[in-house]
Amino acid sequence: MDRFDEAYRSRSAPWVIGEPQPAIVELERAGGIASIRSEIIDDCALARRLKTQGPIWLGLTRRARSLRPYGGFREIGRMVSRSAYAQLGYSPLLLAGTVAGMVLTFLMAPMLTLFGSGLAQAAGLCAWLLMSLAFQPMLRFYQVSPLWGLALPAIAAAYTLFTLQSALEVWRGRGGMWKGRTQAKAGDT
């Protein structure tokens, strides 16, 4: 039995057969898929369009599953790099601030822990352990090992590199690469 059969049996399906589906109706009122076709960050653009029709909800769920498989580090990097600089409004100033913020927030603690001494080293270790502890609710939600909390600085470093890669690709004229085509920055279309 698949999840759709189960949704019918449990009467938990978010649709009613034979009636207009609320999400589709709202999407059409907001201009439909055509209204976001040129957007690099299509899910955010869709949410922006739907918000004009009324409130929306964004939250965590175990019921949603990605239709796009990301099989490894390289694919995740491409996915992040595709839109990271767009999220910063293509601003070099916001890019610099983001990189500085990521370094201060996530990378200074392990650097002090590994290369500092005395009080600085103790403060770095305390900060690293606290950030690992703060990450625990997400790790529990996704049912992965709590030890991943210690990897948070490395994860943040990877996302910082992906964001820098995104800016470099835009500056080279190859930004927003998606489905074999380069997408134009907002305002370039």
Q: How far apart are CA 103 and CA 29, in angstroms?
A: 43
Cut 0.85: pTM above it: no
Q: How confident is the model at residue 21 (pLDDT cuts 50, 70, 90)?
A: low
Q: Where are the domains of the chain?
A: 1-65, 70-179
Question: Higher confidence at residue 76 or residue 163?
Answer: 163
Residue 177 burial (10 A CB sphere; 0-12, 13-18, 19+): middle
Nearest Cα residue to 45 out of 55, 57, 56, 35: 35
- Spatial contact of 82 and 68, defined as CB atoms under 8 Å apart: no
pLDDT digit string, tens, across residues 1-14 = 455 556 556 655 55
Residue where the block lists tokens 């439909």? 32
pLDDT digit string, tens, across residues 50-101 = 777 777 776 777 776 666 677 788 888 888 888 899 889 999 999 999 999 9
Q: How far apart are CA 97 and CA 188, in angstroms?
A: 25
Backbone angles phi, psi at 185, to 5 degrees: -65, 155
Q: What is the pLDDT of residue 133?
A: 97
pLDDT digit string, tens, across residues 109-131 = 999 999 999 999 999 999 999 99
